[in-house]
Structure 1
Amino acid sequence: MDYANRKRPAKRKPAPQKRKSNAKSQRQVPWGVVVLAVLLVAALVGGLRFIAGGKSDEATPPAPQQATDTPDQSAEVVAEPMPEKPQERWQYIEELENLEVEVDVPERELGPPKLMQCGSFRKQADAERLRAAIALQGLESKVYPSNNNTWYRVVLGPYETKRDAEADRHKLQRARIHGCQIWNWNL
């Protein structure tokens, strides 16, 4: 079926309806619903007045009581002196100021010396190039041949603690020299 070229169906006119008489066409008001709505509104208003706590007919506040005192009695106001500041009951403040604390700190055991290897190359020229870049950062490195002079390692150290080796490794990382590893080696 060709939907693009089809014609629209003709509009049908609705059939004429019979008119009802005027008396039936007017709706009658449901008086029961109206009475119920009025009762609900009255109950709501009464409930709000009850919650407010009083009659809303009394719009004027009660008159303040007049003072029966004579002006001479109210003018005499005697200020009592403040009580003295109590002394401190705590003595720990003075005790702590003069107290010395002794702490036993065991000596740190130093492990084997640490070496940091920053590269391993087949050509000695590449190892010397990395050694020069490390020397520009103020650190001293050495090139060690291994495997019958077929590999050349660039090594820094020895370091007594790993913290010293880490400090130098971070310095090299800031200079964009990455790949340095810290080992527990002994040469």
Structure 2
Amino acid sequence: MTSRDYANRKPTRKGNANKRGSKRDQPKRFPYLLLLITIAGLAGFGYLLWLLNSTDEAVTTPVIVEAPKKTTVKKDPNALPPAPQEEWTYLEELENKKVEVDLPAVSTKPKRPYQMQCGSFRKESQANSLKAIIAFQGLEAQVRKVKGTSGIWYKVVLGPYDKKREAERHRHVLQNSGTNGCQIWFWESS
């Protein structure tokens, strides 16, 4: 391997030294845009100060208003106010008015109680399994055997409920446990 002599070697510039107009060689330009923005800002600030000064003078200039002359009128302390000019008749009409209200008879029990049906199955074992799921929620269900036009059905029914609100509350309990599709109807005895 040959040894190189770095001491007598001329230093090379990084990049291309043959380029004309490199940044080092160009004289710096005067920043006209920066000067223009600065002058505009100072002019705007001066205008703002002049505007505030001119409106301040208008506000602080006192306006002289002549006060009207007061005339004194002596009033009698025992004098009554003048009588009202309008006469109201609604007070007499309300005193003599009779209102008749027709209230329907309020019954505490509905004519028919409610029931909630949660399923209808062809097989009794399926109906009994749904009845067991409902029993785990703390509700009591019944399985009814019904003969229909298409054969025998096993319906899972809860109730009777005197109020529909109570049936709705039990339906929400079942929905929270994952048993959906329960319908509330009037009670049908079979």
TM-score after normalising by structure 2: 0.44
TM-score, with normalisation over the residues of structure 1?
0.44
